[in-house]
Chains A and B, each alone.
Chain A
Amino acid sequence: MTSQEALYNYTLRLGDTSLILAQRLSEWTGHGPFLEEDLALTNIALDIFGRGKSLLEYAAKLEGKGRTEDDLAFFRNDREYFNALITEQPNGDYAKTIIRQAIIDCFDLLFYAELAKVKDTTLAGIAEKSLKEIAYHKRHSFSWVNRFGNGTEESLTRLQNGLNEIWPFAGELFEMNEVDAVLLKEGIAVDLNVLKPIWEKEVTQLFAKANLTIPEGSYAHTGSRRALHSEHLSYILAEMQSIPRMHPNAKW
């Protein structure tokens, strides 16, 4: 694998992860538990969409086949997508969406802070820009985990159920493969092994404050680094891609 191929795949992985998470979050548009939270979730989705657009734009440029970010988003199949499995999991109730978001925000703040220091200036620039936004997202999700965890018996039960469902998908965020190995040598990738203990410490503290118990067992679902997904991704893509595929040259 050349470093150019590795960089393309790495950028695609980050872009896809942002795009699919944003698409999932935007399902809450008009369905939030109350107006302010509806606005909050859609604002967060918008930030993440923007990050995904910048990353896929760069990926398209790296690929060098004349494709655009829209081509990458709308004309690839599930077996060509590299988004982390956690992002494609169904939203569930609000507590599950929030706990998934807290897990990802905590990872993202650590990850993008490191990505802002890598030698690739485009990736570093996008990371620097995203950091400020992620700081806001994390404040939002962490504060809701706290509120649900220290609210009523019902809110704690739902939060715990959400954590039980989403936890087995968290470990994959730290999986590294040949792409990471090639880029780490060049000073372009983030070493996920270094981030993992810091992330674990932070989420463990958050869960303790919110009276949550981390599910037993260390099994983690995996596959997205090889473009293998849960069934949910195909349904997301079907909805997201149907219009552009039906009218491939439509302009608006």
Chain B
Amino acid sequence: MQSKESIFSLLSEIPDPEIPVISIVELGVIRDVIISGNDIEVIITPTYSGCPAMKQMEDDVRKKMQEQGFENIKITTVYNPAWTTDWLSEEAKLKLQKYGIAPPEESTTDKSFLTGKLKHVTCPRCKSKNTVMISQFGSTACKALYKCNECLEVFDYFKCI
């Protein structure tokens, strides 16, 4: 029988369908795995309520688990506790930055996302802090659109929620 750790490491091989440089485990959507004999239950939580990639993630998880010989694969969606960008590892944030997406700059505990008084967002290309928000809503639900005033690069920012 496989251990929970080995299942987690297998799931780490599944890339996020929209941001393929990080895995769905690094993203923090896999909350738990319950193994009993040939049955497995994977508990996931959506990043955003309407994230269209969730179905793809479920299919990918199902496929991966089928390859491991599990017979009954159950995928359960939970909403509580709600997903937060605080669950992104430092390593994942670094990968995002290299990929050209500015990672969330601060912890959600300071509630800056509610007031909109974000201190600064660093340009992933030239690392300048002289950047400006173009739109609160970007190419996917989890991102906002920014522009760097130094190198003029337009980039995605992974919103803190």
Contacts and interface: CB of A to CB of B under 8 A. Distances in A.
Interface of A: 36-37, 39-40, 43-44, 46-51, 53-54, 121-122, 124-126, 128-133, 135-136, 139-140
Given A132-B113, A139-B136, A50 B51 contact: yes
Nearest to B45: A129
Determine the interface band of chain B, counting residues with CB < 8 A from chain A: 20 to 34
A121 B82 CA distance: 13
Given A128-B80, A139-B116, A133 B49 contact: yes
Interface class of chain B by DSSP: loop
Contacts of A49: 49-50
A125 B78 contact: yes
A46 B139 CA distance: 12
Interface class of chain A by DSSP: helix
A91 B137 CA distance: 20
B48 A47 contact: yes
Contacts of A48: 49-50
B48 A133 contact: yes
B109 to A, nearest CB: 13
B79 A54 contact: yes
Q: Which 9 A-B pairs have the closest CB atoms?
A: A50-B50, A50-B49, A125-B80, A125-B79, A36-B135, A46-B50, A40-B137, A43-B137, A129-B82
B15 interface: no
B50 A53 contact: yes
A152 B161 CA distance: 34
